[in-house]
Amino acid sequence: MEKPIMLALDFADFKQVEQFLESFSNPGDLTVKIGMELFYQSGPQVVKTLKARGCKIFLDLKLFDIPHTVEKSMERIGELGVDYVTAHTLGGSEMLTAAKRGLIAGAKRVNQPVPDLLGVTILTSCSKETLANELNCKLAMADQVVSLAKLAKQSGCDGVITSALELPMLTKEVGTDFKYVVPGIRMKQDAVGDQKRVATPEIAKQTGAFAIVVGRPVTQSENPVAAYRRYRANWNLEGE
């Protein structure tokens, strides 16, 4: 079964989203990521509209608050019928457990499947220097990501968001029965931008990724469909 490429719809408003999706002959085949910029501008209606088009929805709001607030927020998200949603693992086990409980309650209320809960570990824009010198983390990057992934798994998450660089250690220490979703994906010829820990789609797949997230290299391309096909072809190379 083909693993998903999650297209990050990092646009300022839904009109730009519609213009982008019109480039594709069948946008209902896409898995799309709705992040904070678009959601805060357009609200839940953007989820409902894209879901009606047939898109699979990754709602990436990175919830991080006290357990009660996160649980009640996740109930509302569970009612939207999205496929994937995120919460920060740094919120701790109580918050993550509450997040999953809220998703289950919300989805049950509207008779929808429970979305996969993905724990955000360390952002791919975060360098090892930032981790050590600003966040005062005593662990090395890979060790910190593994520690947070273990916490996520024990707390009921279905997977984590992680860079491809930590995947070999994650699959070994956390297991292959967990979904690893990898942002920071760039082909060698594409600009890295503000990402610090990047990898190609092929490398992500070979090291155990369940899905990859691709944004600006596709959405800001002069030919988005061609760029998407290029990433999809590299993602689906055999040899993993």
Please indicate, yes or no, if residue 49 is contained in any of the structural domains.
yes
Task: Supply the CATH number for residue 10's domain.
Answer: 3.20.20.70
Residues 37-59 as b or e (16 or more Cβ within 10 Å = b): ebbeebeeebbeebbeeebbbbb
Please indicate, yes or no, if residue 77 is contained in any of the structural domains.
yes
Low-confidence residues in the chain, pLDDT < 70? 1, 188-197, 238-240
- Structure confidence at residue 191 (pLDDT): 46
Please indicate, yes or no, if residue 52 is contained in any of the structural domains.
yes
End-to-end CA distance of the chain: 14
Q: Tell me the pTM.
A: 0.91
Q: How many CA atoms lie within 13 A of 38 on its CB side?
A: 22
- Structure confidence at residue 240 (pLDDT): 34
pLDDT, tens only, 214-232: 999 999 998 999 999 999 9
Please indicate, yes or no, if residue 56 is contained in any of the structural domains.
yes
Question: Longest Cα pair distance anywhere in the chain, in angstroms?
Answer: 49
Residues annotated as part of the active site? 62
- Structure confidence at residue 190 (pLDDT): 54
Please indicate, yes or no, if residue 227 is contained in any of the structural domains.
yes
pLDDT, tens only, 64-94: 999 999 999 999 999 999 999 999 999 999 9
The H or E element containing residue 32 is: strand 31-34
Please indicate, yes or no, if residue 198 is contained in any of the structural domains.
yes
Please indicate, yes or no, if residue 240 is contained in any of the structural domains.
no
Question: Domain residues for 83?
Answer: 5-235
Per the structure, how many domains does the chain have?
1
Amino acid (1-letter code) at residue 230: R
Residue 182 in tokens: 């990898």
- Structure confidence at residue 3 (pLDDT): 85
- Structure confidence at residue 197 (pLDDT): 58
